[in-house]
Structure 1
Amino acid sequence: MEDDLVLIDYHSWIGDTNNALLNFDCGVKEINDEIRSEINDLEENKSKNRAILLVNKKGVVLGFVSYSLENSSMIQASGEYSAKSVPVLNINLLGINNSDFNKGYGSQLVVAVIRMAKTIEVLVHIEAIQLHSLEESVEFYEKLGFSEVREYYPGRVNGSKMYYNIESLRDIDFLKVYVNPFLISDTANK
């Protein structure tokens, strides 16, 4: 991990977002378009989401993650889909610039969201962190502790709904909950 990187809450950043995202390309046009749309919505305060940017010292965005608190028909502890609506932290978008793949940046952004969930869980009960993963990214999320929701997309092959059970966070030492979510570490430890 480069020493000149910083995780920044989008609303705290004073950089030029449009210029910083000018050459951003995660390799999936739909995600690139969604990220730019999300940034525009955040700029105009039309979004209920929060965003974390991974930025280098030149102000170039290398990665982006958007998340929100929601009620969702989610999972049960078994990982089975349930129609019961529960509070979750949803990862809406995650994108890493093509030229920066396999450098641990995606893990850093997901770990920042997990740390944020640890802090939120102290104040507001949430059941899980959930996301919709592209099929080619399922293994990445599994390495970070996420599980696939079985039978969520029957017959659908282009994605998976995944969750990270908050129960596993409840066993963590209370004071460790307040680890700075914007801290970049050498390892993506939760």
Structure 2
Amino acid sequence: MDIYGDTKSGNCLKVKWVCDHLALRYRWVAIDIMTGQSRTAEFLKLNPAGQVPVLVFDDGRTLAQSNAIIRYLARDSDLIPRDPFDAAKMDEWLFWEQYSHEPYIAVCRFQMVYLGKAASERDPDRVKRGDAALQRMEHRLAETRFLVGAAFSLADVALLAYTRVAHEGGFDLEAFPALRRWIGDAEKRLGL
């Protein structure tokens, strides 16, 4: 299979990390979103939304959206809890990541890393909501080793992607000791 992505993107790295963790064979196809490579007619045939990552299977089928991709790739693996309730809690974190974490942490990082903006130029509402997301994670991780409990899951992979580089978006992780501990534990699990 081919993975079309940008290694600066946490959403793309999630897919790469899951493939590497599960020893799945793939070919990485680098896409530079800043030069419009995700907006070409050829790319838009793979994903009409013009977003990375995109997974292209050997039979030509495609799958987009990072959390859908990792959920598919990790089926029947130890990255998805066997207990149905724990699996649903993992999904809860996956949905929360895309709705209440990524739009703030990742967007601030995008503005600073990709667009070269200063931290002072970030949208104050995004900063406030990003801080709230980090605080929610801190609270949870002060209670348990990983987001769904004692076991490492896709929830940890998904949220690690942008949390570990939140400082690149101007967020200070010093006030979040449980979060910093979790980042180290999750990176170790993934061999990063």
Q: Structure 1 or 2: larger helix share?
A: 2
TM-score scaled to structure 1, two decimals? 0.28
Q: Structure 1 or 2: larger strand share?
A: 1
TM-score scaled to structure 2, two decimals? 0.28
